Amino acid sequence: MAKTGKSLSAFLAALLLMLSILSVMESTAYAAPAKWYVRYDSNGGEYAPTRQIKKKDEPLQITAARPTREGYTFVSWDTVKSGGGTLYYPGSEYRTDRDLKLYAQWKPKTCVVVFYANEGKNAPKNQVKEPWETVTLTAEIPSRTGYTFICWNTKIDGTGTDYYPGQNYDARDSAILYAVWQPVKVWYRFDPNGGTFSKTGVHFVKIGATIRIPKTAPRRPGYTFLEWNTQRDGSGEAYLPGFHYAMESSSTLYAQWDRN
């Protein structure tokens, strides 16, 4: 009997040890992990940030990286895809030891079309539209002395895309449209008025430009050249060789003569 009692005691001790080991193993198997993940979903956008690792009992700062989405502005992160959950903003802290998935929240951009007169004046007022909306560009045009308005362009030097008043505009971003101008041309000519002159052709210049009267005088047998005049009979404004003449409109200068 004594031997049987010792065997039973040894068996019970071994059983208790085994149960203790199994308890420790089970506890270890279901122990909380040492790290968790914060994952980001761009929710219709692009370039979602890389996941972050949350360590036990350590606060994690939500990434400052943001996704992008054409026609939309990023607002915040939310635990619910459609919104209405817990909001998180770039730079805010996450303290819970648990995996987290965050969804980007968006709002539509308001696009503004800005008209720039580009050295002119009286540019039209800005036009506002939603990214997916098509608007008709205003028929108003700016003004510039000595120039004719041609169109609008996406680049100030006119090398971009042209847009015309009344044309549909459906670009999904705000833009500045620059006025494109063409100088107004005027002409001038010299009329020897009975004489001969080497520069009798028609010359074109930009309106408002200043020309210099040739120093070379015309010739006419039996006559002495006096001046150039804006009127054939000499009743207009007189200009001598070498003088400057402002071209405000097309005009002819006539040689004036004195009989020898």
Examine residue 212 and state whether it is found in any structural domain, yes or no: yes
- Sort residue 99 into left (φ over 0), alpha (ψ -120 to 50) or beta: beta
**Number of domains into which the chain is organized:** 3
The single residue listed with the structure tokens 């068996």 is: 11
43 and 97 co-located in one domain: yes
175 and 189 co-located in one domain: no
115 and 176 co-located in one domain: yes
Query: Which tens digit of pLDDT belongs to each residue from 193-250?
Result: 999 998 889 999 998 899 999 999 999 999 999 999 999 999 999 999 999 999 989 9
Q: Which of 119, 160, 161, 158 is nearest to 142 (CA)?
A: 119
Query: Which tens digit of pLDDT belongs to each residue from 33-57?
Result: 789 999 999 999 999 999 999 999 9
Judged by DSSP in three states, 169 sits in strand
Examine residue 254 and state whether it is found in any structural domain, yes or no: yes
The DSSP secondary-structure symbol of 24 reads H
Examine residue 8 and state whether it is found in any structural domain, yes or no: no
Q: Please tell me the pTM assigned to this model.
A: 0.55
100 and 122 co-located in one domain: no
Distance (Å, whole) CA 54 – CA 157: 52
Distance (Å, whole) CA 221 – CA 196: 9
Examine residue 28 and state whether it is found in any structural domain, yes or no: no
User: CATH number, domain at 83?
Assistant: 2.60.40.4270
Q: Check residue 28 and give its pLDDT.
A: 45
pLDDT at 29 over 50: no
Distance (Å, whole) CA 4 – CA 27: 34
164 and 134 co-located in one domain: yes
122 and 90 co-located in one domain: no
Domain interval for residue 57: 36-108
Distance (Å, whole) CA 212 – CA 201: 15
Compute the mean pLDDT over every residue in the chain, rounded to the nearest whole number: 90
Mean predicted confidence (pLDDT) in 177-195: 95
The strand pair at 175-183 and 111-116 is best described as parallel
Examine residue 162 and state whether it is found in any structural domain, yes or no: yes
Give 192's strand partners: none
170 and 202 co-located in one domain: no
User: CATH number, domain at 122?
Assistant: 2.60.40
Domain boundary among 119, 153, 183: 183
Examine residue 18 and state whether it is found in any structural domain, yes or no: no
Q: How far is CA 22 from the centre of its chain?
A: 67
Domain boundary among 183, 199, 225: 183
Examine residue 13 and state whether it is found in any structural domain, yes or no: no
Domain boundary among 108, 143, 167: 108
